[in-house]
Amino acid sequence: MTRLSLVICALCLAAPVQAEMDPSDYEVPPADLTPEEAEALRVRIAAEIAAERARAQAEAEARRAAEAEEAARLAARPVGERLVEARCAACHSVETYQQANQGWLGWRATVWRMDLLNGAGVDAGEHGLIADWLYAQHPPTGGRAALEWLAFLFVIVALPLPWALWRRRKQKT
């Protein structure tokens, strides 16, 4: 073996060395302070640390109180608003509702369509609550509501009409 390899082996096999130091060894006492002044400095530093901890705790408590107040405010909102936020706001913004210009019937149809065709995940009892809240918050402008009801009546009359004509023709023969 060469001398270099012997030195490398010796370094690798040597036990690791640790410094045995006390935290007080890191403190450098000022040389010009009397023992009374040093004690007063320690007391002042301890008071500052305690004040900082108290301030941090007070801030944390204030933050928790604000969060609890916000949770209570959100829970006090109408059921329809909370349902719209939970079911509809995942895909739609508030501008979408404002631009829709739908009447009560239009909102009902929209909620059903979103549930059946788009998988909105609206439970059976929630359709009416969502539609009623949307209608109350975003009512139609102009004659939109009247047009919706006329279209609805037309569908009610138009759908059974071919069947009624077919039945009449069948009875005559």
Q: For position 26, what pLDDT does the model report?
A: 65
Q: For position 18, what pLDDT does the model report?
A: 59
As a whole number of angstroms, the distance between CA 7 and CA 9 comes to 5
Q: For position 43, what pLDDT does the model report?
A: 92
Residue 159's identity, in one-letter code, is: L
Q: For position 15, what pLDDT does the model report?
A: 55
Q: For position 157, what pLDDT does the model report?
A: 80
What does each C-alpha distance from 91 to 85, 88, 94, 95, 120 come to in angstroms? 10, 6, 10, 12, 9
Q: For position 135, what pLDDT does the model report?
A: 87
Which stretches of the chain score pLDDT less than 50?
A: none
Spatial contact of 41 and 33, defined as CB atoms under 8 Å apart = yes
Q: For position 55, what pLDDT does the model report?
A: 95
As a whole number of angstroms, the distance between CA 59 and CA 63 comes to 6
The tens digit of pLDDT for each residue in 143-157 reads: 777 788 888 888 888
As a whole number of angstroms, the distance between CA 143 and CA 132 comes to 19
Q: Which residues contact 138 (CB under 8 A, 6 or more apart)?
A: 97, 98, 100, 101, 102
For residue 88, what is the DSSP state? I
